[in-house]
Amino acid sequence: MMIKSYLELSLSSLKKNWKVFTILTLFATIAVFLVSPDSYTHDLYQRNNSAWFFMCGKAWMNGMTPYVDFSDSKGPLLWLIYGIGYLLSHYNYVGVMWITCVFYAVTYLFAYKTAFIFLNDKRQSLLSAVLMTLFFFNAIYHREIKTEDFAQPFMMGAIYYTSCLLYGEPVARHRWVIAKAMLWLGLCFGATFLMKYNIAAISLVFAFYSWAAVKRDGYNLWKAFGLYAAGVAVVWVPFLVYFLVAGNLKAFCFEYFVNVFHTVGALGTSGNGVFDGIFNKFITNAFPITMQCIATLAPMVVIYMKRYRSFPFVAFLVSAVVNMGNGTLIYYFNNSNGLIIFGVIALVLLVRSYEHHRWPRYGAAVISVFILFLIVINNNDRGGNYFTQNGIRRSIFYYYATIMDQVPNPTIIYYRCMPNPEFGVCNNALPGCKYWALQSGATQAMKQEQDDAIAKKQVDFIAVGCNNVTAINKVAKLGYYPYRHTAPDNAFVLFSKKKLKAPSYTINVPNHVVFLKKHFTTRLAFACDTVPTWY
C-alpha cells in the first residue's frame, strides 16, 4: 500500500511538471555540452582528476579488481560511473559527458523544485534554476568534471527535501513526502560516502535538520531513522556484496580509509599541524566562501522564510569547515554550491517586488543570458584543449599517443610524479600496478610498489616528469627506451619497455576530427604528414 501511494504521488508530480522537466533536461544537456571538457567540444589532453577516474573505471570494466589491482583515494561509486562512461565510449570521455547530462538534469530539477517552495511561480522558479549555472560551472573554480559534479544531484536533492520539511506547508509535509525525504537523504549520504566521504559528512547537516522537523511534526522518529538507513543500504549493499564475492573488502577498507588518512595527513602535518596556513586556505578559497556566505545570509535580510532562517547559513558553515579542513583546493566548494539557491531566490523576490515596472524583470533576464554566455566562453578559452585550439599541446599529446598505440592494450605507470595522467585514453591503456599514479602525500609503500613494478619489467610504459632527473636516470638504467617531445611545453619523458618507432613531432590532428571524436587510428590515417608504417 505504501509503495503504491508513493508511486502515485511521484507519477502525479511528473505529469504536473513534465514541461518543466523537459526544459531543464534540454538546458542541462546544452550547458554540459558547451562547458564540460568531456564533451565533443574538447580534446583529450589537459586532464587531471577526470583522467584518474576514467582510468580506474576503465580498469574495473576490463576485469581488474578495485583496491587490489589499482587504487586511488576515491570511492567505488565514482569509478562505477566512469566505468559505465567507458563502456559507452571506449576511447574518449563522451560517455562520461552523457552521464553528466543526466546528473545535472536531476540537479537543475531539484533546484527548480526548491525555488518553487518559496516562489510558487513556475517561470520564476525556472529562472532561478537556470541562474544556478553561474555557480555550478563558474570558471574560477570549475576546471573539469570532478567528484563534486556527480555528488551535485544528491546534495541538491537533500537541500530540496530538507526545505520541504522545514518550510513546506502541512500538505507538503505529508507522511509520504516525509518517507521520500528520508529515503533520499539516506541515499545522498550512502552515495556521496562511496564517492568522497567529506561530501557525505556535509550531507549530515541536512539529515539533522530534517530529523528535527520530523520530530516537530509528530512523525515517528525511529521510523524516520529506519527509512534513512534504508536509503543508505540501497547504495551500500550492492557494493558490499560485490566486495565479499570479489574478496577485496579488506583491501577496500584499507585503501579508502587507512591509506587516505595517511596521504591526507601527510599533507597537513607540516609546520604547525593540520590548521597551519588557515589564513592561506581562506585566501585561496575566498571567492566561493564569500559567494556562498552572502547567498546563505540573504534569507535573513530578504525575509521569505517563516522559520529556520539560519539553516542555509549553518549548512554553509559546516561545509566551509569540512572543505577547508580537507585542503586548499578551491573546487572542493562545488559540493556546497547548491546552497546558493537560497540567495538566488532572495534576488528573484527582490526583482519581483517591482510589480509595476517591467524593466527589472526583463533586465534580469537579459543580464542572466549575458552572464551565462560569459561563463561558456570563459570555460572554453582557458584549458588550451578546446577543439579549435590546434597548438603544440595537441601535437605533444598525439606524439605520445602514437608511440603507445604500437602496443595493444598497454599498461602504464606515472613514476614519482603527481601527473595529469592523460596518456593512453585513446589507446585503451590500463594501470601497470596498484599505485599506477601517486596521490598527493603518497606513502613509502606506494612508491615501493612502483619501484617493484618497473624493476620486474611488468609495465609497458612509464611516464616521468621532465624535471625529475633522478627518476629519469633510474628508469633509463633499467633498460627502458626514452621518448621525449622537443617542445618547451612538454612535461614528460615517456619510457617504453620495447623499442618502438618514433613519430613526427609535428603530428597534425584537424579540428573537425577532434570535434567528431573519431577513433585514434582513424585520426592518424589522414592526420599525420607521413602515415606510420605500422598502420
Note whether 14 and 21 are within 8 A (CB): yes
User: How far apart (Å, rounded) are the C-alpha atoms in residues 19 and 234?
Assistant: 30
The alpha carbon dihedral of 334, 338, 340, 344 has a sign of: positive
C-alpha cell at 113: 523544485
Distance CA 391, CA 105 (A): 34
- The whole-number pLDDT of residue 262 equals 74
Which residues are CB-contacts of 407 (< 8 A; sequence separation ≥ 6)? Answer: 427, 460, 461, 496, 498, 500
H/E stretch holding 433: none
414 neighbors 438 (Cβ within 8 angstroms)? yes
Cell of 370: 549575458
- 10-residue block means of pLDDT along the chain (535 residues)? 48 69 92 90 88 95 96 94 96 96 96 95 90 88 90 97 88 75 97 95 96 88 95 97 96 92 60 53 78 92 86 95 76 90 92 65 62 62 77 90 92 84 87 91 91 95 93 95 91 94 86 82 46 33
To the question of pTM greater than 0.85 for the whole model, the response is yes
For position 306, what pLDDT does the model report? Answer: 83
Q: What's the pLDDT score for residue 129? A: 93
Cα–Cα nearest to 188, from 166, 205, 203: 203
Q: What is the Cα 207 distance to its own chain's centre?
A: 23
